[in-house]
Chain A
Amino acid sequence: AQSVTQLDSHVSVSEGTPVLLRCNYSSSYSPSLFWYVQHPNKGLQLLLKYTSAATLVKGINGFEAEFKKSETSFHLTKPSAHMSDAAEYFCVVSARGTYKYIFGTGTRLKVLA
């Protein structure tokens, strides 16, 4: 069975400081992992994905995530937050060959001026 836990429901950072959004997963099989972002009243947009290639994955808007199998983690980072990064972020796990995306509960990122 697959599951995903986002460790923080809310994160606040100051503009220009680093962002860390934490995600732990559980999967019986080699997982595919994704981060999606949802801006207010918008759909979900893919930030990045891990599908067993490089463990450090670079995404859009300066975000990246590192797959750490030993820690079963897939944390999302960005060196310097921008006001436009304020949104809700979802970590998603999908077992290979299955249809199901398992969504985390989301982390709401607030960026302070």
Chain B
Amino acid sequence: DAGVIQSPRHEVTEMGQEVTLRCKPISGHDYLFWYRQTMMRGLELLIYFNNNVPIDDSGMPEDRFSAKMPNASFSTLKIQPSEPRDSAVYFCASSLFTGLTEAFFGQGTRLTVV
């Protein structure tokens, strides 16, 4: 397996624009997580899915953020409209069972909102 695949690797957009980040988890993994990494706040869990169903989105900062998982092999994180404070590295991760097994992380998407 190629691991967790995220696209794009880098995204630069203007404030107010819609941004969509994409993730392909490892085949067969039941859980998918979206994290955000910033210097100020470190790594924060935004939302996670179990079997394509969103379980907890309490980490999503605002209504401008939304995430979907239409099937077991694809998820998106959308920001609309984007703001400069959304600039961060966004990681997608997947795992078989939470807590007991490790999460495998993608390479991340570095988002810059100007």
A binding-site residues for B, Cβ under 8 Å: 32, 34, 36, 41-46, 49, 51, 90, 94-101, 103-106
Contacts and interface: CB of A to CB of B under 8 A. Distances in A.
Given A98-B99, A99-B33, A106-B42, 6 more contacts: A32-B99, A42-B108, A44-B91, A99-B56, A100-B98, A103-B42
Contacts, number: 49
B25 interface: no
B63 to A, nearest CB: 22
A43 B42 contact: no
B31 interface: yes
* CB-based closest 9 A-B pairs: A99-B98, A103-B43, A44-B105, A43-B105, A43-B107, A46-B102, A94-B99, A96-B99, A98-B99
Given A44-B105, A45-B105, A98 B91 contact: no
Classify chain B: how many residues form its interface, as a range.
Answer: 20 to 34
B100 interface: yes
A100 to B, nearest CB: 6
A97 B104 contact: no
B114 interface: no
A47 to B, nearest CB: 10
B106 A49 contact: no
A90 B91 CA distance: 15
B107 A99 contact: no
Nearest to A51: B100
Nearest to B50: A99
Contacts of A104: 42
A34 B43 CA distance: 15
B88 to A, nearest CB: 14
A51 B100 CA distance: 6
